Every structure is written in structure tokens, then in C-alpha cells.
């Protein structure tokens, strides 16, 4: 019994150490993606997002949490857009393009909205399936934070301010 507890404690300590090394260690490079915006413009992350702090939000019009958080995403974009910040909202492959276009137009979304028709963007970002899932990238194009579900926007803003203050 005592040996089992010691083994469990060792496993917990090892898991914490591994998690801490990921949190502190090298950051994962965001995938290089190509996407088409609602207006038909084709872009790549390498050219459109280079040197910026970026929020990539995977969402769907059928996702109630996504719809609920959208005004906060808009406010976040408006607050930081003139400081080297970009937002890319990626609509999931199962979301009908007409619904996405209607939503973006009716809410006057001020940021880039792409439709992931094939699901390739979600696959490249680690097989994203749950919405909303949001990634924060630093100016070097590294993923510094991943949120599954609605972010704590106060903490998100603190992170963005820190990243925007850093040089590439």
C-alpha cells in the first residue's frame, strides 16, 4: 500500500515536471496556413500575419459559446488592432458558408473571417474539434496559449499586452 502511494506520488511529480517544462520550454511554431476570407481573398499566414500578435479563433455559428464570446472578441480586436494585433476567426468545416457570411455581416465583424471548408486548418492546428478553441501567437509565430472554451478575457488582455510589448 505504501509502495503504491509512493509510486503514485512519483508519477504525479513527474507529470507536473513534464507540464512545467512545456509551459516554460520552447514554444510550438504555429502552422503555416493558407485560407480564403469571406470576400474571396486568398491569404497565407506567412504574409498576412507575419510579425503580429495573432488570435486565431475556431468557431461555428451553431456554437452558443462562440456566439456569446464574439462581442468580446470584437472588443479585443478593436482595443489592440492598432498595436500590431490581428484576429483571424476560422469557421469550422461543418458551418454552412452562407450562415458564416450572414453572421459576420449582421455582427459587422471587424476582423478576418475564413471558412475552413476542408477542415485542413483545424487539422494543422492539432485536429481542433471543439469550439470555441482559440490560439494566441506571438510576433515570432509561436503558439503561446491555447484556450478551449471561452477565454478569461481579462487574463487574455494581460497576455496580449505582454506580447505586444515584446519585440519580434
Residue 40 lies in a domain: yes
Residue 3 lies in a domain: no
Roughly how many angstroms between the first and final C-alpha of the chain, as a whole number? 53
Predicted structure pTM score = 0.83
**Which pLDDT value is given to residue 19?**
39
DSSP 131: S
* Cα distance between residue 60 and residue 70, in whole Å: 11
Higher pLDDT, 127 or 26: 127
**What residues pair up with 127 in beta bridges, in sequence order?**
none
47-71: average pLDDT: 96
Nearest of 109, 43, 110, 60 to residue 82 by alpha carbon: 110
**Which pLDDT value is given to residue 57?**
98
* Cα distance between residue 91 and residue 23, in whole Å: 28
Residue 1 lies in a domain: no
Residue 36 lies in a domain: yes
Residue 10 lies in a domain: no
DSSP 155: H
pLDDT-derived band at 1 (thresholds 50, 70, 90) equals: low
Residue 91 lies in a domain: yes
75 neighbors 62 (Cβ within 8 angstroms): no
Report the residue count for the chain.
168
Give how many domains the chain has, as a whole number: 1
**Which pLDDT value is given to residue 62?**
97
The 10s digit of each residue's pLDDT in 108-164 is 999 999 999 999 999 999 999 999 999 999 999 999 999 999 999 999 999 999 999
Residue 161 maps to which CATH number? 3.40.30.10
* Cα distance between residue 114 and residue 111, in whole Å: 10
Higher pLDDT, 135 or 10: 135
- 5 pLDDT above the threshold of 70: no
What is the residue range of 43's domain?
A: 28-165
Q: CA 121 → CA 9, 93, 128, distances in Å?
A: 39, 9, 9
**What residues pair up with 135 in beta bridges, in sequence order?**
56, 146
Residue 2 lies in a domain: no
Residue 21 lies in a domain: no
Amino acid at each position: 500500500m505504501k509502495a503504491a502511494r509512493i509510486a503514485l506520488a512519483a508519477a504525479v511529480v513527474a507529470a507536473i515536471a513534464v507540464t512545467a517544462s512545456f509551459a516554460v520550454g520552447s514554444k510550438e511554431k504555429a502552422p503555416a496556413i493558407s485560407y480564403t476570407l469571406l470576400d474571396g481573398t486568398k491569404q497565407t499566414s506567412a504574409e498576412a500575419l507575419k510579425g503580429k500578435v495573432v488570435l486565431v479563433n475556431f468557431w461555428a455559428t451553431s456554437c452558443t459559446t462562440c456566439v456569446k464570446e464574439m462581442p468580446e472578441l470584437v472588443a479585443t480586436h478593436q482595443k489592440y488592432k492598432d498595436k500590431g494585433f490581428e484576429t483571424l476567426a476560422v469557421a469550422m468545416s461543418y458551418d454552412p458558408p452562407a450562415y458564416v457570411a450572414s453572421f459576420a455581416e449582421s455582427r459587422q465583424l471587424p476582423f478576418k473571417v475564413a471558412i475552413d471548408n476542408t477542415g485542413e486548418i483545424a487539422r494543422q492546428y492539432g485536429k481542433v474539434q471543439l469550439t470555441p478553441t482559440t490560439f494566441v501567437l506571438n510576433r515570432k509565430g509561436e503558439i503561446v496559449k491555447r484556450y478551449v472554451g471561452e477565454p478569461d478575457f481579462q487574463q487574455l488582455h494581460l497576455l496580449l499586452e505582454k506580447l505586444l510589448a515584446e519585440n519580434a
